[in-house]
Amino acid sequence: MLQAPRFIDSHTHVQFAAYQNDTEAVIGRALEAGIWLVNVGTQLDTSKEAIALAEKYPQGVYATVGLHPIHTDKSFHDAQELGEDDAGKGFTSRGEIFDYGAYKELAAHSKVVAIGECGLDHYRMNSSDSKSKQETAFVQHIELAYELKKPLMIHCRQAFPDLIALLRANRSKLPTVPGI
């Protein structure tokens, strides 16, 4: 029988390297306290990891799939997200291109409850075309969410006017379900 949660933490990253030594313990404590988790993907690999983690639990742990705007361009290395392996090599965010088909396949999984983390982040603009890459990927996320009738999980940092403009320009493609 399904137990209703006391709370839902709608934005976790327990698949990140920062939790590599205690992922199961963190999730266990949350579930024991009646807190369900939505584990958020930020790149194709972390989206896959979010789903794999959600599959281990019959209820209470879910996933999103998406490409965080800072990962549309090569960027700084965040050891807490990506681990120490590449820390001395500059940046490890590859400048991933949003692969609509690959994300669509992941998003069809029954444990995936939203599309994202997607949006705009103008805090770290690493190249002259960073803004354009972020906008293109965000519109593709909007289209995927609309197609699959799943909510968007939006990230916005120092880009609110541009984000609202893109949402307005793509109003007809927005999913009809509420977003996060």
Condensed to tens digits (0 to 9), the pLDDT of residues 4-35 reads: 899 999 999 998 888 889 999 999 999 999 99
Site of tokens 């690999």: 45
Is 115 in contact with 65 (CB distance < 8 Å)? yes
Of all residues in the chain, the percent with pLDDT exceeding 90 is 74
In the chain, the amino acid numbered 157 is R
The model's confidence at residue 180, banded by pLDDT at 50, 70 and 90, is: confident
| Mean pLDDT score, 117-136 | 91
**2 burial level (CB within 10 Å; 0-12, 13-18, 19+):** exposed
pTM score, two decimals? 0.88
Q: Would you state the structure tokens that stand for residue 110, as one six-digit string?
A: 């029954």
Mean pLDDT over each residue of the chain, to the nearest integer: 89
Dist. CA 6–CA 141, nearest whole Å? 30
CB 50 within 8 A of CB 64: yes
Q: What would the pLDDT profile of 56-115 be if each residue is shown by its tens digit?
A: 999 999 999 999 999 998 765 556 555 665 544 333 567 899 999 999 999 999 999 999
- Joined tokens for residue 127: 């190249």
